[in-house]
Amino acid sequence: MGEATIRDVARRAEVSVASVSRALNGLDNVRAETRERVIKAANELGYVPHAGARSLSLARAHAIGVVLPDLHGEFFSECVRGMDREASRRGYLLLLSNMHDDSDQAAVALRAMRGRVDGLLVMAPHIAPETLEHAIPPALPSVMLNSHADLPGRPALRFDNRAGAEAMVEHLVANGYRHIVHIAGPEGNLDAAQRAEGYLAVCARHALPPRILAGDFNEEAGEAAARTILASNTLTDAVFAANDMMAIGCLHTLRSAGTGVPEKIAVAGFDDVPLARYLSLSTVRVNIAEMGARAVGRLIDLLEGKDLSRDSETFTPELVVRATTAPRTAPKDGAAHA
């Protein structure tokens, strides 16, 4: 039933287990003829080393644990794709574990990694730093992605949501929009909070009246926000949503209601999901795959002692201007939506 073990190979090649180990791992203190006998026996038995046992005695698993929150669509796959690319390039496997917005469950997930992985990649923008610090096994090297604060000894990689949001709102202002509404992301989410901050900063800078509608990163929130905007009698000539999905929901609802975008109201999002291009939605692009790959790279450097600087890194997102924020054509301060 069970697979062949190193002892089976040893028996068959008529050598000791030590020689088998040495031969298969390419150590040089093995006679060529012995090595061949071993390799032959291993092939005949279809021997595959038991990674678990190996990592136990080496204290090295050649795997890294990835703990992600519930990410949507592209975001998740891009992130994992980037990580996987770098990991497999450097001979590591990825152990995946979602953490469904629940910090107890997160702790369980993190503990389950002990003894299976050499390091951890943690993305938890919704969990408080002290909770997190307490949940991560202290001896596991780890790299944080987009998390709240820096944890001592663990480099953090994040993108500058605030700068991205500022760039977008500045762009709107430059294109003549003055009554810009922000659809916020979920409460307590760090990305969302930083994007809102950027929005507020630009409003303050230009003495524009800020207005924030609640949202949760889902399309429906964008639709609801659009209805609120249409129903209210507050002047609005642009909407900056905290992510693309909400922007898209908003865009659709506005257009369905006969409100031209961008003629009456401009719409902008954040993330640059593939859909955005097709809808000509102006947005802010974050190269999440690259960040994932970089995070894996950093972690492995750390594991292999190649990187002793535990510095954090910030990725600056890129403004992507498309048709939904075309320069305002109506009179400078003319009525948009009443």
Partner DNA sequence: GCGAGTTATGTAACCGGTTACGGTTTGCCG
Partner DNA sequence: CGGCAAACCGTAACCGGTTACATAACTCGC
Q: Which residues bind a copy of itself (CB under 8 A)?
A: 1-3, 46, 48-56, 59, 61, 63, 71, 73-77, 80-81, 84-85, 88, 93-98, 100, 109, 111-116, 137-139, 248, 252, 274-275, 278-279
The answer to whether residue 59 forms part of the interface with DNA (CB under 7 A) is: yes
Smallest distance, Å, CB 61 to DNA? 12
What are residue 276's phi and psi, to 5 degrees?
-55, -40
Nearest to 124 by CA among 85, 174, 67: 67
Residues 6+ apart with CB under 8 A from 309: none
Residue 170: how many other CB atoms lie within 10 Å: 16
Tokens 């993330």 sit on residue: 271
Contact by Cβ (8 Å): 136, 110: yes
Report the partner that residue 94 touches, choosing among a copy of itself, DNA, none (CB closer than 5 to 8 A by kind).
a copy of itself
Which lies closer to a copy of itself via its Cβ, residue 1 or residue 231?
1
Smallest distance, Å, CB 56 to a copy of itself? 5
Smallest distance, Å, CB 289 to DNA? 33
The partner residues of 181 in beta bridges, in order of sequence, read 211, 239
Nearest to 325 by CA among 271, 284, 290: 284
Report the partner that residue 80 touches, choosing among DNA, a copy of itself, none (CB closer than 5 to 8 A by kind).
a copy of itself
Q: How far is residue 261's CA from residue 252's CA, in Å, rounded to a whole number?
A: 9
User: Residues 34-53: x/- map of binding to DNA (CB under 7 A)?
Assistant: x------------x-xx--x
Tokens 């605030």 sit on residue: 162
Smallest distance, Å, CB 120 to DNA? 17
Residues found near DNA in the complex (CB under 7 A)? 2-3, 5-7, 14-19, 21-22, 24-25, 28-31, 33-34, 47, 49-50, 53-54, 56-59, 115
